[in-house]
Structure 1
Amino acid sequence: MTAEEPYTVELASDVYAYVQPDGGWCLNNSGFVSDGTSTLLVDTAATERRTRALGAATGVPRPRLLVNTHHHGDHTYGNGFFTPAATLVSHSARRREALAGGQHLHLLWPRTDFGDVSIQGADLTYDDRVTLHVGDIEAQVIHPGVSHTVGDSVVWLPHRRVLFAGDLVFEGGTPFFLMGSLSGSLRALALLRELGAETVAPGHGPVIDPSAFDRAERYMRFVAEVAEKSHAAGLTPLEAARSTDLGEYAAPPESERLAANLRRAYAELDGEPEGEGVDPFAGFMDMAALNGGEMMTCHA
């Protein structure tokens, strides 16, 4: 458990982010939009305890709509505390991956007390984009392509200039695209820039402005450069990660993600389709090896 408590910040009229410091492994952000009568919730939390705290913190009517930005358990394990009263909305690939992956966080962190959590598919799926309405507030749910995962969504509020970016943005942490695509993540960032957001609620870390896209892109291009050189030299992704001088990227938390990100970059250099051709478990084992042989800590 982190020393800092979660907090709620108002992003615009009737729009809020629920931030869980320090934004590390298993500590995601959520958000909600409410006109006082109807509520849209963006993502839940990794544990029963943290999801109940999220529900108590909103101070608004129980959500009628719930959007998952992707299938990872830190964003979805708490779905069951809001459904079936809330209609669960996601990209079609997120629904598939959630049902196929099951309680995957339990496998990675078996000692963590996740509580009574259940795996939820989705009541409503879409493939490109869908528009939801909370009173007179328009929420565009957009699939940016294969990026952090194969089934990502962002939630764009054009009349509030607020973007819930999901895990396309790790503010203050290291980007992660083991289960998605490096090239797809770069395309997704270009799409997000075009929206014209003024305020960005990331999937992890504090609320920020669109400069977050530039920081994420610089890291991704760094990974691409390392991958090209190391792949050509015949190094494995783990060997490449161990021999790389991280420079400015040594300071942000979760720097061990380089090993997993290189696996994804190598797959794309080998011609694998985006989102395919990589064993996620092997990527986590590489990160653990880079982390001194220990699995990274789940902070939830």
Structure 2
Amino acid sequence: MVNNCGVVVDGAGTAVLVDTTSTERRNRAVLAEVAKVSQGAPRAVVNTHHHPDHTYGNGFLPPETLVIGHDRCRDEVLAAGLEATKVITAPDYGDLSLRPPELTFADRMTLHLADFPVDLVHVGQPAHTTNDVLVWLPEQRVLFTGDLAFNGGQPFVLEGSIAGFRAAIELMQSLAPAVLAPGHGPVCRDEDVPLLLSRMDSYLAFVQEVAATSYAAGLTPLEAAQKNRDNPYRDWAETERFVGNLHRAYTELEHGTSGWRRLTVPGVWPDMVAFHGGPIACHA
């Protein structure tokens, strides 16, 4: 529930936000920082996907700020409501109000600011979620990835697709960004960008390998995670995601990748807590 937000400001001082965040306190802090580098209210905010740590702050934006997202992002925000506050109960969320995207698109959209374009690109298939959008500044070669990149933490694929996530990594690699702002973790530059993307792809390949072996052996996803706890990625943050990702990998082994099937965080949360060894802390 502690994510990265971005801001793009053109020569006229017009600001476009990339995502909001999870609590009233954090969102008011973000908006105060944005006000230091822009003129007036943000023109728009782009939600990179529907997860609450990227959308709960939409309601703190002024009415004149347009909320943009993928078609399915709007559907998922409305369907999920404020359910996350019942699963992750530690934060003081403040006075939340649900605000889904008001302008949606299916494939691509370009925002034309005063000096340069900002391309919004849906990755084409489930990856981290069903509605992941890249925010790409082609002239500056800056890429905001949302949760299609985690720097220092394990990516989370429960609500998406491992195969689709790997395809999204290939798409990001093809853009060859000079700067990559991940959904979580430090910003990457220059040679660190392809290194991060390669490491994430290797992790996802590892999850697929563990799933294939463990599924054939009749192990549950939790048993598979416990058996393979000592692995090359054990020092990455949010290790409890390993078992959630195995649930998705098992589903893809059972049903293939052509027809997406819904898995929910509340449905696997007990396994994630068990693998973690106790309650999962939240610092939002």
Work out the CA distance in 2 between the residues paired with 1:269 and 1:250: 24
| CA deviation after TM superposition for structure 1 residue 284, in Å | 1.8
**Mapped contact 1:146–1:274 kept (Cα < 8 A):** no
- Which residue of the other structure, out of 15, 26, 37, is the alignment partner of 1:50? 26
Partner of 1:21: none
Q: Deviations over 1:133-191 (max 9, x none)?
A: 22122111011121000111110000000000110111011111100010000001111
Q: Which amino acid aligns with 1:252?
A: W
| CA deviation after TM superposition for structure 1 residue 37, in Å | 2.8
Partner of 1:214: 198
Q: Which amino acid aligns with 2:267?
A: A
Work out the CA distance in 1 between the residues paired with 2:259 and 2:18: 26
Work out the CA distance in 1 between the residues paired with 2:76 and 2:270: 20
Q: Choose between structure 1 and 2: higher helix proportion.
A: 2
Matches within 5 A, 1:108-257: 108-144=87-123, 145-208=125-188, 209-257=193-241
- Which residue of the other structure, out of 20, 24, 27, is the alignment partner of 2:2? 27
Secondary structure at the aligned position of 1:210 is classed as helix
Identity of aligned residues (%): 45
Q: Which amino acid aligns with 1:195?
A: L
| CA deviation after TM superposition for structure 1 residue 247, in Å | 2.2
Taking structure 1 as the reference length, the TM-score comes to: 0.88
Work out the CA distance in 2 between the residues paired with 1:52 and 1:167: 22
**Mapped contact 2:74–2:100 kept (Cα < 8 A):** yes
Work out the CA distance in 1 between the residues paired with 2:138 and 2:229: 40
Taking structure 2 as the reference length, the TM-score comes to: 0.93
Work out the CA distance in 2 between the residues paired with 1:71 and 1:247: 31
Matches within 5 A, 1:74-113: 74-113=53-92
**Mapped contact 1:27–1:299 kept (Cα < 8 A):** yes
Work out the CA distance in 2 between the residues paired with 1:88 and 1:67: 6
Work out the CA distance in 1 between the residues paired with 2:151 and 2:260: 23
Work out the CA distance in 2 between the residues paired with 1:129 and 1:182: 22
Work out the CA distance in 2 between the residues paired with 1:291 and 1:274: 30
Work out the CA distance in 2 between the residues paired with 1:204 and 1:290: 22
Partner of 2:275: 290
- Which residue of the other structure, out of 31, 34, 41, is the alignment partner of 2:17? 41
Structure 1, unaligned stretches of length 5 or more? 1-25
**Mapped contact 1:180–1:274 kept (Cα < 8 A):** no
**Mapped contact 1:73–1:104 kept (Cα < 8 A):** no
Partner of 1:281: 266
Structure 2, unaligned stretches of length 5 or more? none
How large is the RMSD of aligned CA atoms in angstroms? 1.3
Q: Which amino acid aligns with 2:165?
A: S
Work out the CA distance in 2 between the residues paired with 1:93 and 1:101: 12
Aligned length: 274
